[in-house]
Amino acid sequence: MSRLSSKAGLLRDLGKKALVTYIVAGDPDQSVTVPLMHKLVAAGVDVIELGVPFSDPEAEGPVIQRAHERALRAGTSLLDVMQLVAEFRNLDQATPVVLMGYLNPIEKMGYENFAQQASKCGIDGTIIVNLPPEEAADLSCYLEQHDIESVYLLAPTTTPERAAGISSRSRGFVYYVSLKGTTGAGSLNTAEVSGKVRAMKKIVKMPLYVGFGIKNGVTAAAVAHESDGVVVGSAIVDYMAFHENNIGELETSVVTLVQEIRSALDALVA
Amino acid sequence: MSDRYSGVNEKQPLLPDERGHFGIYGGKFVSETLMAALDDLENEYSRLKVDENFLATLNSDLEHYVGRASPLYHAQRLTEAAGGAQIWLKREDLNHTGAHKINNCIGQAILAKHMGKPRIIAETGAGQHGVAAATVAARFGLSCCVYMGSEDIERQSHNVYRMKLLGAEVVPVTSGSKTLKDALNEAMRDWVTNIDDTHYIIGTVAGPHPYPMIVRDFQAVIGREAKQQFASRQGGLPDAVVACVGGGSNAMGIFYPFLDDQDVRLVGVEAGGSGIASGQHAAPLTAGEVGVLHGNRTYLMQDKNGLIAETHSISAGLDYPGVGPEHAWLKDIKRAEYVAVTDQEALAAFRQLNLLEGILPALESSHALAYAMQLAASLPVEQHIIVNLSGRGDKDVPTMAKIDGISIG
Ligand SMILES: Cc1ncc(COP(=O)(O)O)c(C=O)c1O
């Protein structure tokens, strides 16, 4: 079993809420990424989602779009992202790392080649935003051969029948997108999300983590009441833009936010 | 009742398959939030395309509002200048709003009405699709928001103002390369956010299934008319049909009814920009690779890392790095051929059509004209070529004046 599934299973057995954080690899440049990943883990992050920068990130809001643009300006390719993970693995063999991105760079690299290299670099899973399970058969075949898990998304618009099919193909966890919109969108109606998550949990047997719109300890706790974990993205990436030229401050701000969310999640189950 | 839109055409190969594939191309590569909306759209469309009321409304508007059928014009002076096969022009430039784009917009606006969606959104490059979308929004009492790259807004300011006169909101897109592909990204983001009350009218035969199929079906009126008009004027079938290819909707529309007529050559003309060798072009079928963008698998222009490449064309409407998946399929099975024409060649054809026939073509359509004249020169006078004159060139007058160093205020 891969690091991702074991970690998600372990957290569930312990009754702990999972904290997943998203940053774009190479944002604002590649020297920042690996040290920041270690800081995230030290601050209490369970799973790292590493965004692969793409020229046309169609599901992202402005904050994460800008992050993709910064990372691309710094010349970050899919291969570079995988090498950053390999570098991270020199010091951390425990924390699951999941790549999140769009299909085209992987198509260009070739499915089999991607699966081989990703596995060699210590990548545990993929979330491919524009690859619904219906189109994923070829790629998942190679990923499975190399023990890389595919995480799929559920949305507020997903019908119960689809949700059952998707969750049966998802590995590690299922990612529930809390709102209709792009990443970083507006404010979350936590009561509505909780209702939806409760309904989804009747269908989804594996750990269900909720992302989109979680900004701080309060929203994280509200959402994690019903879910098994949360994914925090734009709130962290926002700091990348703000402290682009001061990496020390960047790390301090990110760590403070992550610690706040960690405590809020831990308080829920204490 | 007219047979302009009979819905199903039993003679055509049944593509796409039920999951939207044309061979390995097409499909639905979108985020999960959009899957339900695409399913709804597909179900609604399958129901309506055989619904008598829907077809009656559509055909009535095509006739009385768009002004169909558009003429098929035998361009004799152009033919003489080319020195070979007879050149016929399918005059989509004479449609209301000045391009083929309205054929699709009328159909999709009626769809939106039936689905109870009071708001439509669109992406636009040259502004022709934006104008057509804004027009049908006014016609059907829908609110309309058009996404347009900030670079294109500058190139096509005339159309931007037209859209505003029609009551549409025009949103400049400043991300990425600030052109058509980025406008499409932004429209998808809007759609995902406002999915409950909004229908997205994609302007070409690209995007996720069922869009390539729906847009093709609505544009196929061009080919059905052309085929019938040619048969009654000249008899038989033309030897070749030529159309420009941006996303591919005017080409797919005129090709589709001829797909089973194997003796009719189908030629799609892409934007060769400064020349294929220069890399500055927008010709994915001629010089691209297979990849996934904007919801479908197709040929596209990308760099070695799979990032979408920036494109170049003198005509904003062809300045797109992808192409509709059915064209990718037709290329692979060799049912259609695809060539590229440079900016310079298109400009020369643009001038010739003005001088020889008194017709001001869109720069997009001028690409098809340029190739058709070359092709005509290589064929005997007894042969016949139909060119899809997809739009008129009023919107391009400022660009031309600038090239000629003339200030027209
Ligand atoms: C007049 C005209 N022709 C052609 C095109 C290209 O689109 P398509 O390839 O979908 O016909 C456009 C797009 O804006 C256009 O305005």
Chain A residues closer than 8 Å to B19 by CB = 134
| B258-317 tens-digit pLDDT | 999 999 999 999 999 999 999 999 999 999 999 999 999 999 999 999 999 999 999 989
Task: Print burial letters for B71-101: b (CB count within 10 Å at least 16), e (below 16).
Answer: ebbebeebbebbebbbbbbbbbbbbbbbbbb
Task: Give A188's pLDDT tier (boundaries 50, 70, 90).
Answer: confident
Are residues B196 and A158, on separate chains, in Cβ contact within 8 Å?
no
Residue A224 Cα to chain centre, angstroms: 16
pLDDT of residue B151: 86
Tell me the H-state helices in B115-168.
128-140, 150-155, 157-165
% of residues, chain B, pLDDT over 70: 97
Query: A205 or A51: whose pLDDT is higher?
Result: A51
Task: Give A224's pLDDT tier (boundaries 50, 70, 90).
Answer: very high
Ligand 1 interacting residues, C-beta cut-off 6 A: B 99, 125-126, 128-129, 204, 244-251, 317-318, 362, 364-365, 390-391
- Rounded to whole angstroms, how far apart are CA atoms A124 and A96? 6
Q: Which sign does the torsion angle of CA B132, B135, B136, B141 carry?
A: positive
- Segment holding A161, helix H or strand E: helix A160-169
Are residues A58 and B294, on separate chains, in Cβ contact within 8 Å?
yes
In this model, does residue A245 exceed pLDDT 90? no
Q: Picking from A185-189, B337-341, B342-346, which range would have the lowest pLDDT averaged per residue?
A: A185-189
Mean of all residue pLDDT scores within chain B: 94
Contact predicate B337/B267, CB 8 Å: yes
Cβ burial of B155 (10 Å; 0-12, 13-18, 19+) is: buried
Give the tokens for residue A166.
């998707």
Mean of all residue pLDDT scores within chain A: 95
pLDDT of residue A1: 66
In this model, does residue B2 exceed pLDDT 70? no
Task: Report the candidate in B72, B130, B56, B7 with the shortest Cα–Cα distance to residue B254.
Answer: B72
Chain A residues closer than 8 Å to B34 by CB = 157
| A72-125 tens-digit pLDDT | 999 999 999 999 999 999 999 999 999 999 999 999 999 999 999 999 999 999
Give the number of the atom of ligand 1 that is nearest the alpha carbon of residue B245: 9
Do the bridges between strand B289-293 and strand B295-300 make them parallel or antiparallel, or are there none, so unpaired? Answer: antiparallel
ipTM score for this prediction: 0.95
Q: Which of B123, B151, B186, B225 is labelled catalytic?
A: B123
| A136-178 tens-digit pLDDT | 999 999 999 999 999 999 999 999 999 999 999 999 999 999 9
Phi/psi at B103 (nearest 5 deg)?
A: -55, -45
pLDDT of residue B404: 95
Cβ burial of A16 (10 Å; 0-12, 13-18, 19+) is: middle
In this model, does residue B13 exceed pLDDT 60? no
In this model, does residue B8 exceed pLDDT 70? no
Task: Give B409's pLDDT tier (boundaries 50, 70, 90).
Answer: low
pLDDT of residue B1: 27
pLDDT of residue B154: 85
pLDDT of residue B6: 40
Beta bridge partners of A179: none
pLDDT of residue B179: 86
Active site residue A251: no
Task: Report the candidate in A184, A186, A176, A259 with the shortest Cα–Cα distance to residue A211.
Answer: A176
- Quick check: helix, strand or coil at residue B297? strand
pTM confidence score: 0.96
Task: Give A235's pLDDT tier (boundaries 50, 70, 90).
Answer: very high
